[in-house]
A and B are shown apart, each in its own frame.
Chain A
Amino acid sequence: GQQVMQIPQYQHVQEGEDFTTYCNSSTTLSNIQWYKQRPGGHPVFLIQLVKSGEVKKQKRLTFQFGEAKKNSSLHITATQTTDVGTYFCAGGSRNTDKLIFGTGTRLQVFP
């Protein structure tokens, strides 16, 4: 069945360093969503990408959807302590009517 993997599972960075998490699907996706879950909190929607090769920015966050619509990435420039949390991608498929969440990347930022 459809699987969505994320790497790395954990990342520790010094404040000010950049961070990237990668999301890979076993099948072609219709769309990709990204969520952030703060420690002790619940996932909160960040953004959705639907077009092949699409790039979207939110302040220091840059989201990309691969040309083949099978992978995606989230890049954070100059991390801050407020970026701490777990980042999930979720791949949507019109063929299967499913939204599959990735395994998540937990980001820790040291001041």
Chain B
Amino acid sequence: DVKVTQSSRYLVKRTGEKVFLECVQDMDHENMFWYRQDPGLGLRLIYFSYDVKMKEKGDIPEGYSVSREKKERFSLILESASTNQTSMYLCASSPNSKFFETEAFFGQGTRLTVV
């Protein structure tokens, strides 16, 4: 079974803090993704990576950065957390270069609250 593990289920951070969300997958997948999920807006892509040290902006990258130093690990960084970044963050991975036509496997999600 593919496993995508996110480091925290719940996080509470203060405005202005630098926040790290970690994600690890154990199936040697090329592609990894970070989404945020908000009610009524569905899942929106923040960043994705198709290889180690490679990253591509998604639809809402502002205020975020990412790091992929190892194939199995993809980190999302909030440089200076703000209250409008309070959300559910979902990490996902998929095995194919054509990721838009390949099943994505999701982690359990991190509910981040910025106060």
Contact = CB atoms under 8 A, between A and B. Distances in A.
A33 interface: yes
A94 B90 contact: no
A43 interface: yes
Contact of B42 (A31, A92, A102): A102
Interface residues of B, number: 20
Interface stretch (A12-20, A44-52, A66-74): A44-52
Q: In the complex, which range does the number of interface residues on chain A fall in? A: 20 to 34
- Secondary structure at the A interface, as helix, strand, loop or mixed, is strand
B106 A42 contact: yes
Most chain A CB within a 10 A radius of its CB, from B41, B90, B98, B101:
B101
Given A42-B90, A43-B90, A31 B100 contact: yes
Given A42-B106, A42-B107, A44-B106, A103 B40 contact: yes
B42 A50 contact: no
B100 A98 contact: yes
Contacts of B115: none
Interface string B97-112: 0111101111111000
Given A42-B90, A92-B101, A99-B104, 4 more contacts: A90-B104, A97-B100, A101-B43, A101-B44
6 contacts: A4-B42, A6-B42, A44-B106, A88-B43, A97-B100, A99-B99
